[in-house]
Amino acid sequence: MEPGYFTESDSAEVVIARNAAAKSERLQQVMAVLTRHIHAAVKEIEPTTEEWMTALQFLTATGQMCSDWRQEYILFSDIMGVSLLVDAINNRKPSGASESTVLGPFHLADAPELPMGANICLDAKGEAMLVRGRILDTSGNPIPQAKIDVWQANDEGFYDVQQKGIQPDFNLRGVFRTGADGRYWFKGVKPKFYPIPDDGPVGKLLGALGRHPFRPAHLHYILEAQGFDTLVTHIFDPDDPYIHSDAVFGVKESLLAEFRHVTDTVVRDGKTFLQYQND
């Protein structure tokens, strides 16, 4: 039987039936789900024609803002929490595994590989910071030769790629490899909160929603090791003023690091230890 004509009550099912010859089953399924949800939303909202035009103009402006350097649709997905939801669905981890979070737009694939302990801060600006940790499997065994790709914004909240000619190329980026004990350490600068790019339609939407555009201070990591899933994650400063209101919902409790003031190193039993301010 031919499907019926379009009516308000049957709207979604009439459109879905029209896609019966879709060339891919997955596309057909995705479009059916989207059609049902979008029609249900329109029925619940009952937009005026002007309101619907405003929505379409927002999508048009979002597309017009996109370039090789700017992906406004990803920002839209980020501030809607959809990027983090897709990330969660695709990165369900066994217990004990480090959690993932958003990649963000500022990763460079060709950052230099550096010797352990190197300083990734190339312009001597900001408060010096020592970063150290261990890369372990879920049973607690060290992972040697793990590749640690790190990048961070400077203490004014900008990545090198946002300040070409102001910051040196590859400032605050580096690739390190763990030794046999899974340990790594390097020097950077204490990061600061910064706004996601907010001079486009997504920034305007955040303003209209009474939301700020800030991400709490963090360091980005991509961890790769043979035989293991790749992990895209951050560590965050738990004392950051925006730690509970990340514009892109990237914060997870397990990703909060400890930032402590180091005054000096001390040697005990022939080993070097860090001396913390409150020790």
Residue 235 site contact among Fe ion, ligand BEZ, none (CB < 5 to 8 Å, cut-off depends on kind) = none
Cα separation, 213 vs 79, whole angstroms: 9
196 binds ligand BEZ (CB under 6 A): yes
Shortest separation between residue 134's beta carbon and ligand BEZ, angstroms: 24
- Of 151 and 178, nearer to ligand BEZ (C-beta) is 151
Shortest separation between residue 209's beta carbon and ligand BEZ, angstroms: 16
216 binds Fe ion (CB under 5 A): no
Site for ligand BEZ in 65-84 (CB under 6 A): 75, 78
Shortest separation between residue 47's beta carbon and Fe ion, angstroms: 35
H or E element that contains 164:
none
Binding mask 209-248 for ligand BEZ (x = CB under 6 A): ------x--------------------------------x
Shortest separation between residue 233's beta carbon and ligand BEZ, angstroms: 11
160 binds ligand BEZ (CB under 6 A): no
Site for Fe ion in 67-106 (CB under 5 A): 104
Binding mask 100-119 for Fe ion (x = CB under 5 A): ----x---------------
Cα separation, 188 vs 61, whole angstroms: 37
Site for ligand BEZ in 88-127 (CB under 6 A): 102, 104-106
Measuring CA to CA, which residue among 229, 112, 129, 133 is closest to residue 179? Answer: 133
Shortest separation between residue 215's beta carbon and Fe ion, angstroms: 6
Shortest separation between residue 106's beta carbon and ligand BEZ, angstroms: 5
H or E element that contains 3:
none
Residues that bind ligand BEZ (CB under 6 A): 75, 78, 102, 104-106, 196, 215, 248
